[in-house]
Amino acid sequence: MDSGIQLEVTGGPSEITGSPDGLSLYVHIPFCETKCHYCDFNTYAGIEALIPGYLGALETEIRFWGERLNRPVVSTVFFGGGTPSYVPIEGIEAICRAIFEAFNVTPDAEVTLESNPGDYSKRELGRYLEAGINRLSIGVQSLDDDLLKSLSRRHDSETAVGAYRSARDAGFDNINLDLMFGLSAQTADQWRSTLERTVALNPEHLSLYALTLEPETPLDAMVRSGEVEEPDPDLAAEMYLHAESVLGNAGFEHYEISNWSLPGRESRHNLAYWLNVPYLGVGPGAHSFLPGRRFSALRSPRRYVDLLSGTMPDGDPVDVLSAVGLLDSVEPVTPETKLADTMMMGMRLARGIRSDEFQQRFGLGLGEAFGSLIEEMVGLELLVSDKDGIRLSDGGRLLGNEVFERFVTASAEVELPGD
Nearest CA to 85 among 95, 75, 76?
Answer: 95
The phi, psi pair for 105, rounded to 5°, reads -80, 125
Question: Residue 412: exposed, middle, or buried by beta-carbon count in 10 A (0-12, 13-18, 19+)?
Answer: exposed
DSSP one-letter string for 116-135: -TTS--HHHHHHHHHHT--E
Q: Quote the pLDDT of residue 419.
A: 65
Please tell me the CATH superfamily of domain 6-273, with its number: Aldolase class I (3.20.20.70)
pLDDT tens digits for range 193-209: 999 999 999 999 999 99
Q: What is the pLDDT of residues 320-331, one digit of tens each?
A: 999 999 999 999
- Looking at residue 349, the DSSP 8-state letter turns out to be B
Please measure the distance between the N-terminal and C-terminal CA atoms of the chain and give it in whole angstroms: 20
Return the axis-axis angle of helices 89-102 and 122-131, rounded to nearest 10°: 10
* Burial degree of 307 (CB within 10 A; 0-12, 13-18, 19+): buried
**φ, ψ at 93 (rounded to 5°):** -60, -40
Residue 275 has pLDDT above 60, yes or no: yes
Assign 387 a pLDDT band (cuts: 50, 70, 90).
Answer: very high
- Whole-number Å distance between alpha carbons of 22 and 89: 27
Answer yes or no: are the C-beta atoms of 26 and 279 closer than 8 Å.
yes
pLDDT at 60 over 50: yes
Q: Which of 234, 227, 127 is nearest to 170 (CA)?
A: 127
Kind plus residue range of the DSSP H or E element containing 50: none
Alpha carbon 342 to chain centroid, angstroms: 16
Catalogue the E-assigned strands of 269-399: 279-282, 287-290, 293-297, 327-332, 353-354, 383-386, 389-392
Domain boundaries, the chain: 6-273, 351-411
CA atoms of 196 and 355, how far apart (whole Å): 38
- Distance CA(54)–CA(284), nearest Å, equals 10
Tens-digit pLDDT profile for residues 4-41: 333 333 233 333 333 447 899 999 999 998 877 777 78
pLDDT tens-digit series, residues 218-271: 776 777 888 888 889 999 999 999 999 999 999 999 999 999 999 999 999 999
